[in-house]
Chain A
Amino acid sequence: MLPRQGIVKIFSTFIQFDGDRFAHWAIDSRLHRNMTKLLATTSSSEASENFWVIYWHKAWQNRPGGIAQQHLSAYLQEVCFWATNKTIFGFTSTQYTVADCFQIAIARVDKVLKGFNPHQGCSLKNYAQITFSNLIRELLRQRREIDICSDWALLRKLSQKRLEQSLKNAGLPTKTIEKYLLAWNCFKILYVPNRASSTRRLTKPSKEIWLAIAQLYNRERTTQLCDPGEKVSEETLEIWLLACVRATRAYLYPNVTSLNQPRPGYDSGEIMDTLSGEIDDSLLTEIITDEEVQERDRRQAEMSKVLITAIDTLKPEEQKLLELYYAQKSTQAEIATELGTKQYNVSRKLARVRKSLLKSLAQWSKEKLHISLTSDVLKDISELLEEWLTGHYHHQ
């Protein structure tokens, strides 16, 4: 893959695939125009990559979605590409292509932007790499799950939120979605595995169960639905539930060719004002100064020292574990084989080592930075630690 040259391209071009391989960078002319104009109005000192990352992230925070998201999505193309490649590579039995997973991951760029905290000293790229990797890992796992589940088992393995999203995604009207959700809830109450395990092979419910589902639905619809609608038969319910199954499967296997393209909605009014070519000054005032950058770097260095000291005090096998996991990117299954133990043990040990590092870092933050260690703060510290570990072992 050729690296992109110049700020304008970095924030306005997208990867095009040839099958599963990188083909070329495609310019989004709208984004390109916007960056060129903005760049012309700014002084050269502000033209660094980092400046624009922070600028667009600020803009995104003020107005999620919109053109800022497109610019940052362009910016994060390589990160997402490599995260996809590495993650998929770890799974030998995968039937999923890089292009496919890449498109799905980049479509979730909002998750990266939402979770990213620029004041923490993380770089957006590093943060994005971890988030994309986790996203793809989860995606692969969920796809595998729905691939091996029967339709009826699949219905039991959904959260209501996911089903709702899937039905929305399928373009169904709100009232219909409401009815389907109630039907699904009735199904879940009445059709329950009757053995301790093997929940993935549930067969079609029996006639009696369908009748009971219909009975429950028809009773509950009057209280649970805004619009109770007609009384429905068990045949109708079966049709509805199968529609739920299709929507759910489609949600995890979207038509990927369209995902990386700018979405149609953004072409209307929203773009007009941003395309005026003016830098939003209110965002500039919040952009961090050089001193702040220095302060941040200094803190980062201190943090590194704390963590390196903490790692040095770990037992040799614990150090080995970190190295295997973060440097060699071994999967937990591979580590288990290498260390001659069970995978659950690897996971637990890894968690324990991470906990001790997290604690060192938390204590240091509390003493040096006078931060009150609430769960939210610890969440940030935990993410920082993950980022640091990934970076630290990567550079070794």
Chain B
Amino acid sequence: MSDVALFDPTQLFLELDEVTINKAWLKSQKANTSASRWQTYLNRLCMMVFLPWLKEEQNQSPQTDSFQTNYWELINGSAIEVGDAKFLLVPSEASDLSEMRVPQEWVDIPSWVADYYLAIQVSVDDGYIRVWGYGTHQQLKTNGVYNHSDRTYSLTEDYLINDINALLIARELCSTEVTRVPVEPVSTISATQAENLIQRLGNPEILLPRLAIPFTLWASLIQNESWCKRLVEKRRGTSSGIPDRGSVLQWLQAGVTNLARELGWREVEFQPSVVGARGIATSSQEGITPTANVALAKQIQIDKSPYELKILPLDIEEGIWGFELRSLILGGNIPAGFKLKILTEDLETFEGNEDLATTAVEKLYLEVALESGEGLVWVVEPTPDEYQPEILRF
């Protein structure tokens, strides 16, 4: 007899077939600890069957952020946006349905707050997920009990609404329903502080990184997507451990971010004709790429002498970029033996990725064609003072 026979007709349950189970399991193997693998697996299962159901029931199509597979390494819960409402799925293996336990991150970080929190029981053995109740952010904050030990808000079953149809109809007929209460903004921390925390919490031997530091500090760290991603990668040991500084293209178009500025990057004027690179003349004449007159520069110091590394957008449409190293001393040259190198984000070399000064030269120069989103790491030899490898996205 299947468990399903015993269900309350107002609760929604969805089948987990073998194909789904195997697929979800396979896709969850990247996780770092056995607990985070299991957490990832449960969340993935929920998403795989709940999303298609929701699509069928709603006129608007639900949106998810592919970034959240990273959160599962650290925190339970999966967010879905439908129209202007945000749902949070909270999976659990507990079969007693006494409470819904929501990690504090989803309740107290302003950008993470959801409108509706759905309690989901996952029974892998019987092959189903059951959406057995839901509550709003407001209910969590007013009727929920905050647990200091595991930093969760818990809403007992008598406060939850069983009938998921009530949620769908509330959305349909009363879209103005008040679901949230205001929460305090999360304070910000400096890039250096974040870097230190990532180094410390990135140690996979710390099994509960979310409980290892005060919540306010933790919240300011993980609400930043790229820091959160770095932390996850560090714990998984999947990345080279090099921080990802974000999109160079975005800096050119929308201005250099604070983080990048802290790391020494700034915009400089750039005259394509002087560089004489291909494709520039036409595109700047026709004014197709308005950012073509801005490049990025960073000052570095080698053997107590200042140099400047420039990144030049030669042809944004085609993804052609130039890297240039010059001395900042008037009339100064690049000494013989200096090398400018570009590596992939996994620190692999590729053809034409370096320029060596065999004699003293005016500049070192490289040109590369990149796919959108590709990441690179720049290297100069001899190593500049206080050099920190960084991944730049193009």
Contacts and interface: CB of A to CB of B under 8 A. Distances in A.
B24 interface: yes
B99 A161 contact: yes
A347 interface: yes
A162 B207 contact: no
A378 B207 contact: no
Contacts of A144: 3, 6
Interface stretch (B32-40, B103-111, B253-261, B332-340): B32-40
B177 A374 contact: yes
B12 A351 contact: yes
B174 interface: yes
A172 interface: no
Interface in A158-215: 158-162, 165, 181-182, 185, 188-190, 192-200
Interface string B1-42: 111111111101111000001101100000001110110010
Q: Counting chain B CB atoms within 10 Å of each CB, which of A90, A182, A220, A366 scores highest?
A: A220
A41 B136 CA distance: 46
A372 B93 contact: no
Given A181-B149, A192-B34, A196-B124, A355 B4 contact: no
A231 interface: no
Contacts of B124: 196-199
Given A196-B25, A358-B166, A220 B97 contact: no
B161 A376 contact: yes
A188 B101 CA distance: 15
A35 B149 CA distance: 47
A354 B10 contact: yes
A285 B105 CA distance: 47
A347 B168 contact: no
B98 A161 contact: yes
B208 A189 contact: yes
Interface in A346-396: 347, 350-351, 354-355, 358-359, 362-363, 366, 372-376, 378-379, 381-382, 386
B2 A343 contact: yes
B9 A159 contact: no
B169 A378 contact: yes
A366 B134 CA distance: 22
Contact of A141 (B3, B21, B24): B3
B59 interface: no
Contacts of B25: 195-196
B285 interface: no
A338 to B, nearest CB: 14
A156 interface: yes
Given A158-B96, A196-B41, A347-B13, A355 B165 contact: yes
A194 B41 CA distance: 11
B96 A344 contact: no
Contacts of A350: 9
Interface string A319-341: 00000010000011100000000
29 contacts: A111-B158, A114-B158, A138-B97, A141-B95, A145-B95, A157-B96, A159-B96, A162-B94, A162-B96, A185-B150, A189-B33, A194-B34, A196-B21, A196-B25, A200-B125, A216-B207, A220-B211, A343-B4, A347-B9, A351-B10, A355-B165, A358-B166, A359-B172, A372-B174, A373-B174, A375-B116, A375-B136, A378-B167, A382-B166
The 7 closest A-B pairs by CB, nearest first: A196-B25, A378-B166, A159-B94, A373-B174, A161-B99, A141-B6, A382-B163
Interface of B: 1-10, 12-15, 21-22, 24-25, 33-35, 37-38, 41, 92-99, 101, 116, 124-125, 128, 134, 136, 147, 149-150, 154, 156, 158, 161-163, 165-170, 172-174, 177-179, 207-208, 211
Interface of A: 90-91, 93, 111, 114-115, 134, 137-138, 140-142, 144-145, 156-162, 165, 181-182, 185, 188-190, 192-200, 216, 220, 223-225, 325, 331-333, 342-344, 347, 350-351, 354-355, 358-359, 362-363, 366, 372-376, 378-379, 381-382, 386
